[in-house]
Amino acid sequence: MAGKKAVAKKAAKKTLSKKWVYLFEQGNRDMRELLGGKGAGLAEMTNAKLPVPPGFTITTEACNAYTAAGKKFPKGMWEQTLAAMKAVEKKFGKKFGDPKNPLLVSVRSGAKFSMPGMMDTVLNLGLNSETLKGIAARTGNPRFAMDAYRRFISMFGRIVMGIEGKKFDAIFDGAKARSGAKADTDLDAKALEEVVAQFKGLYKKEIGAEFPEDPYKQLELAIGAVFGSWMGKRAVDYRRINKIPDNLGTAVNVCTMVFGNMGEDSGTGVAFTRDPGTGENELFGEYLVNAQGEDVVAGIRTPMKIAELKEKNSKVYNEFHKLARQMEKHYREMQDLEFTVERGKLWMLQTRTGKRTARAAVRVAVQMVNEGLITKEEAVQRVEPAQVVQLLMPQFDAAAKAEAAKQGNLLATGLNASPGAATGIAIFNPDAAEKLGKEGKSVVLVRYETSPEDVHGMYASKGILTQHGGATSHAAVVARGAGLPCVAGCEGIHVDEEKKIFTVGGKTVKEGDAISIDGGAGEVFLGEIKMVRPDFDKDEDLKTLLGWADEIRLRKSRKGMDNAPEVGLQVWANADYPRDARMAIRFGAQGIGLCRTEHMFFETDRLPIVQKMILSKTDEERQKYLDQLLPIQRGDFLGIFEAMGELPVVIRTIDPPLHEFLPSHEELLVQVTELRVRGDNPALLKEKEEMLKAVEGMREANPMLGLRGCRLGITMPQITKMQTRAIIEAACQLKKRGVNVHPEIMIPLVGHVNELKNQREITEAEAQQVIAEQGVELEYKIGTMIEIPRGALTANQIAEYAQFFSFGTNDLTQTTFGYSRDDAEGKFLLKYVESKILPENPFQQLDQTGVGRLMQIAVAEGRATRPNLKVGICGEHGGDPSSIEFCHRTGLNYVSCSPFRVPVARLAAAQAAVAQVAKDK
């Protein structure tokens, strides 16, 4: 017992001695995990001698301890908070709660990763009926004091106590209406005093108690509310979407209040050191005269552009411009800055890495390399693969857009808050937008102004349109981060969310009507507009960045790794047609990793021949139809070889069950029944009956594990021979033209070495015969897909007959998990991910511990038998960044993905190479 008491006493002492609170001057930029991004930024600016109001940060660890203890502050935290407040009082020369010289503070959240608008903030904390008098007396501005008080009561009531914001808004709007005020600033001190009284009455009615007068009680409740907001719905939704862990917690920043709402010589602003929409190297942001910070980001008033501040107050603008450049150079990264001007004095309130569009991310990265601020490796790391996807997203067709404008369908123009284009039905409620989005509908979310509670509907939409708000409003920030087009501050429209309409210029747009928005131009159109993809060939910044990525990923980044080539991953593409191959080359592919021959069989000019081949009763009859297919297949392969030139092309022999080329059993049954009832077409009835009989004869209980792949080639070797002949004849034709083609024939679904041995013997014999007939020398390879667990586990045997492996991770995932993909994704996989039974959908992101382990075994054992064995991946995972990183670590030679994702894979492969080099150091 004595021992247990000693341990408990020691633990209690450790808890009491733990540092929960840091003054700004005690932190730095490297303490993001503990102090959050905002706290680390404030600390760094303080230490750099920038004008930062004094304050302190309560750590993310305190938040996690608060949550774990059932919403109770950890021992010692409150005492440290009080001590920190004393230090701030001393530094600023004011006292918290002092009626004569009161110190007011803001209480703001700040997680390790930026989550704009997702958590809570309380301003003007410390105001009560007594300190209100002190503020009014010291400033000589009773209106300012009363305005600060009404803001505080409203924010505290909404955020800390959970009172609906619209109830406060209704009171305030009523006061404006009675006074005939158009703007908030038109209300005088007396009108605001009435608002404050009504706010307090609302608070008492809703909470059953008076509004708290004790500033320390206010502080205690506000800190708890900010901690609690970490697990609020909007914050949790944001983290799910952006894959941010729940266990990070948020810090709480308590900062001395400085006021931008003290008159015309005061104001507040948000600015980026570069344009977050385009990446242009110029200060970009907004400024509101006589306002507090939340007015800008909440979009309550439409602000002026930051450039206008230069005309109104050049001294402040020049000082801010200098500090902005200083911060960008210091962090070597584009910064997002918040600032306040109080009676002509500039105060810096925040610096953090600025969120930006995909276009801006690429441009800024390239510019900063050219400016000598960062290296090529850093530039490649700063652009997310998902942003490359966004750059390849559709835009409006220029002619169609011009025609829409000509027809009078341009409804209004607002702020170009986030670039890109979207067409969809107008929806006025975020819940409805989320529901329809999940159903696959294209939705444009229309709001008077967005709030953090709307985030789930915003992410489910194709685009966002708001009547109020600026380019740094919540809608704009979320849209840019998500790669969604957004038109904000579109004052020409009048949104009625209750009636689910907006009106503009005598026109009414109802919910369900089609609209189109151009986030790059800030334009709103009635109806749908044709979309087109951007021109990759003209995107010089992206091509430059991807060129650097290619340099990096093809360096010797894997020296010393077992069973791996020294250079990084090559990027190949999956292409079934010449047009796909040409697109792959255009996007930078270094080969074709998967050409699916069965897709060619579905073309209308050959499907009837394929069906007759399947229905043949004898080998002779089957061969007759295969002979008809031969020149068609040869032409298919010739087109792909021509497009790829001297780059390698992996062609997979036929894989799916043959019944997939025939009409469905259910459709045939209906047709036969109808023909029998009518009795007017005996010839067609006989044909359909034969087809039905053939389909019934081929039906399998589980066709994905039945007669397909190499099993089909073994039971019907004529198909393997025909396809081999078509491939080699096409290659020989090009070889005769002087093109050094590199065909690679891939046998699918091998689970036993004898299956590959059988198919290789057939393939090799046919290939050699064609080469002899053509009289040319031709190098080719024969390999296999590893997509059956037994194939991976016996890779040492299979490698005796395979010159290359390619992981078919779609089937390998199915057979490893025992899932039918079509059934699993439709019935339970989403539930599994939501319930955290699985971390991710394994068909979208490679299961590295299970499927990945099989891959590692296959690579190691395959290369133990054949050291120069080439290994790639050709499932959908070949375009997924986390799966690509795993492939790099596992020692694959290449990844193969859809042509459209080749640029993504090029970047992801380079990032994997950079990470590997950093790890090896």
Nearest-angstrom CA–CA distance, 392 and 583: 13
Name which of 331, 344, 260, 345 is nearest 297 in CA terms: 260
Nearest-angstrom CA–CA distance, 46 and 350: 11
Name which of 390, 462, 451 is nearest 425 in CA terms: 462
> Which of 456, 468, 474, 742 is flagged as catalytic?
474
* Catalytic status, residue 474: yes
Handedness of CA 650, 656, 658, 662 (dihedral sign): negative
Nearest-angstrom CA–CA distance, 317 and 320: 5
Nearest-angstrom CA–CA distance, 483 and 171: 37
Q: Record the tokens describing residue 162, joined without a space.
A: 């959970």
DSSP bridge pairs for 58: 21, 252
Nearest-angstrom CA–CA distance, 633 and 129: 87
Phi and psi of 41, rounded to 5°? -65, -45
Q: Record the tokens describing residue 717, joined without a space.
A: 């070797």
**Within 10 Å of residue 831's Cβ, how many Cβ atoms?**
10
Please give the radius of gyration of the chain, using alpha carbons only, rounded to the nearest integer.
Answer: 33
Name which of 255, 257, 279, 276 is nearest 268 in CA terms: 257
Q: Which residues of 457-488 are buried (b: 16+ CB within 10 A; e: fewer)?
A: bbbbbbbbbbbbbbbbbbbbbbbbbbbbbbbb
Nearest-angstrom CA–CA distance, 328 and 353: 9
- Going from the C-alpha of 351 to that of each of 155, 292, 365, the distances in angstroms are 23, 17, 19
Name which of 522, 476, 141, 491 is nearest 301 in CA terms: 491
Alpha helices for 332-397 (secondary structure H): 358-370, 376-382, 385-391
Q: Which residue has the tokens 């509101």?
A: 288
Instruction: Yes or no: say if 450 and 473 are a contact pair by the CB < 8 Å rule.
Output: yes
**Within 10 Å of residue 167's Cβ, how many Cβ atoms?**
17
Bridge pairing between strands 415-418 and 486-488: antiparallel
* Catalytic status, residue 874: yes
Nearest-angstrom CA–CA distance, 12 and 421: 58
The 3-state DSSP class for residue 502 equals strand
Bridge pairing between strands 250-256 and 121-125: unpaired
Handedness of CA 136, 142, 143, 147 (dihedral sign): positive
Q: Record the tokens describing residue 360, joined without a space.
A: 């801006």
Phi and psi of 338, rounded to 5°? -115, 140
DSSP state of 355: P
> Which of 874, 877, 888, 897 is flagged as catalytic?
874
Q: List the catalytic residues.
A: 474, 874
